[in-house]
Chains A and B, each alone.
Chain A
Amino acid sequence: MFLGIPDFWISAAYVLCILSTVACVVYGLYNWNREDE
């Protein structure tokens, strides 16, 4: 049971939604001033 959700696949989707968004934020901040052209 995760946050009131009993199903593993739904819990996984819930966590991955948040992790994917965090990955986008971290990538954007880390590369804010990276990448002459």
Chain B
Amino acid sequence: MDLYTIIVVLIYLFITAFLGYLGYKHTTSSQDYLVAGRKSHPLIMALSYGATFISTSAIVGFGGLAANLGLGLLWLTVFNVFIGIFIAFIFFGKRTRKIGHTLDAHTFPELLGKRFDSKFIQAFAAILIFVFMPIYAAGVIKGGANFVQTYFGIPYDVSLLFFVAIVAIYVWMGGMKGVMYTDAFQGCIMFIAMTVLLITAYANLGGITSAHQQLTDLFNNPDIQKDIAKSIKGGFQGWTSMPKGGSPSWWSLVSTIVMGVGIGVLAQPQLAVRFMTVKSNKELNRAVLSGGVFIFAMTGVAFVVGALSNVLLYQKTGKIALVAAKGVNDNIIPLFIKDFLPGWFSSIFLISMLAAAMSTLSSQFHAMGTAAGRDIYEKSLGRSGNTLFITRTGMLVVILISTVLAWAASGLPIADGIIAKFTTMFFELTTASFLPVYVGALYFKRMPKAAAKWGMTSGAVAWFIWTFFVHSNASYMQICKLIFRKTSIVLGTPVESLSMVGTTFVALPVSILVTGGIWLLYTASKKQDMDSKHIDKCFTGI
């Protein structure tokens, strides 16, 4: 750690602290604290949305996965840009903003609850966020703390506390304004770092076509056959080919990574609330431009560089990326930076990774805090009081829970890409439980309240059973092992291959079928549990 890096990091922390303070100074009401006063600038909103979406996990974790699985991960970039920005902003964002304004909703659970005129829906959505988002947050904290530990040589426990404390202070004080100001600054750093990374990778390999050709040829190189033999058994067919259809690698890539994260982005509470922070559709239209470019620069670059790192590291060390990184998935991108970029850029990349983790974590703290304080305590339990004080207290509780979880996860093997897996788990939950109801809330006036309630509940239950007892990720949760003494209930049975199938493939259809089934029952019996005046009010101006 040289003096130059220390100065760069201190400048970064100083600017972050100043922007957090600015957010605090500009926060004068609960509306400011919860939805940034509904007057965000489109560029700040787009950068904040993107920086929240992209954590260290997306760059280092999923970039490392691309080094193993190849350019097939670019399908996730397609989903991230087209579904996560284009579809999300135009078809979800505009209606979310309008209905959110009309119903004076300040959080995602409150939007769903007020739209269906149901305290249960608001409370249930908030409880899911309060209970399960800390798993996602713990993954992000672990990623950030590992990074600080690796680069600064500070012990994991100290890194974790230092990392959480900085984010907690500016979120707790500055609320949504503090979060969005710092997100926008952090997003700019991330954008610059990733652009340099892409240019360097392609330039080092003689241009785009030459780089891809070398990556294609590497698969047949006799020197590496021993290193990729296990991957080939799992369905790997090279870094510029999709895995063999139906193989474990294919299921992991398509059903868990691409579908789980690619669709899950639509119903992320901490992202959906961003739509309620702008004044009109004009801001959303403008935000589509910067949001699309930003997400492309983040995920597209991380996945391409992750895959190409195999060629560059082979040329330098005679080993493919995963072997050169000593089997640790999350060390591949940092190793590439260290070996192929100038020293000054390492410092920039270091703060861009800190920025990626901090921008995601700050929004998670805000979403969890508002779920605990406003949605559960204030609205669902009907306790009155100062909204700001209640939300801040809720935030402190969830920050403590997430920190304890991240500390407990310190023993989990980082080599398994645990951070990317924790991220995927939460995205799969929101897809299964929130997405069908969210679509119904925005587009289907006649959808009964009961269909929304049962759809949400069944999606959450299906997600829980599949994630904790069937899917191969269940081994990290330990619950299945404690009860059944094996890591998945299908292990050693004729249907063992089911553990490869992503949760989204199972839980989302369950949620859709239950929602649709109850809706059909209500239609057939001509029952209606929603007041038509309330529905008309919800869709005012749409």
Contact = CB atoms under 8 A, between A and B. Distances in A.
Interface of A: 3-7, 9-10, 13-14, 16-18, 20-21, 23-25, 27-29, 31-35, 37
A22 to B, nearest CB: 8
Contact of B242 (A9, A16, A37): A9
B285 A7 contact: no
Q: For the complex, would chain A's binding face be called helix, strand, loop or mixed by DSSP majority? A: helix
A1 B459 CA distance: 42
Give me the 9 closest cross-chain CB pairs, A-B, nearest first.
A24-B292, A28-B289, A4-B212, A4-B213, A13-B74, A31-B285, A35-B281, A20-B81, A20-B82
Among B75, B90, B279, B290: residue with most chain A CB under 10 A: B75
Given A4-B210, A16-B82, A35 B282 contact: yes
Interface in B36-89: 70-72, 74-75, 77-78, 81-82, 85-86
Contacts of B448: none
Interface string B352-388: 0000000000000000000000000000000000000
Nearest to A7: B241
A1 B287 CA distance: 35
Contacts of B82: 16, 20, 23
B30 interface: no
A6 B215 CA distance: 11
A21 B282 contact: no
A27 B289 CA distance: 7
Interface of B: 70-72, 74-75, 77-78, 81-82, 85-86, 90, 208-216, 238, 240-242, 279-282, 285-293, 296, 300, 541
B447 to A, nearest CB: 26
Nearest to B78: A16
A4 B72 contact: no
Nearest to A32: B286
B240 A24 contact: no
Given A6-B241, A10-B240, A35 B280 contact: yes
A24 B281 CA distance: 15
Given A17-B81, A20-B296, A24-B289, A3 B209 contact: yes
A17 B74 contact: yes
A12 to B, nearest CB: 9
Nearest to B98: A37
Contact of B216 (A6, A14, A23, A24): A6
Given A4-B216, A16-B82, A24 B293 contact: yes
A30 to B, nearest CB: 8
A28 B241 contact: no
Contact of B72 (A10, A31, A32): A10
A29 to B, nearest CB: 6
Contacts of A3: 208-209, 212
A33 B541 CA distance: 19
Contact of A23 (B75, B86, B210, B211): B86
A27 B90 contact: yes
Contact of B292 (A14, A25, A35): A25
A25 B289 contact: yes
A18 B279 CA distance: 30
A4 B238 CA distance: 13
Given A3-B212, A24-B81, A34 B285 contact: yes
A33 B302 CA distance: 33
B285 A24 contact: no
22 contacts: A4-B213, A4-B215, A9-B75, A13-B72, A14-B71, A17-B81, A18-B296, A20-B78, A20-B82, A20-B86, A21-B296, A23-B82, A25-B292, A25-B293, A27-B86, A28-B286, A28-B290, A28-B292, A31-B282, A32-B286, A35-B285, A37-B541
Among B71, B75, B78, B290: residue with most chain A CB under 10 A: B78
Contacts of A37: 279-281, 541
B78 A17 contact: yes
A21 B292 contact: yes
Given A4-B212, A7-B238, A35-B285, 6 more contacts: A20-B81, A21-B296, A31-B286, A34-B282, A34-B285, A37-B541
A27 to B, nearest CB: 5
Contacts of A29: 289
A4 B486 CA distance: 45
Nearest to B215: A4
Nearest to B283: A35
Contacts of B289: 24-25, 27-29
Given A5-B240, A24-B291, A25-B292, A10 B285 contact: no
Nearest to A27: B288
B296 A17 contact: yes
Among A23, A28, A29, A31: residue with most chain B CB under 10 A: A28
A31 B79 CA distance: 22
A6 B209 CA distance: 11
A11 to B, nearest CB: 9
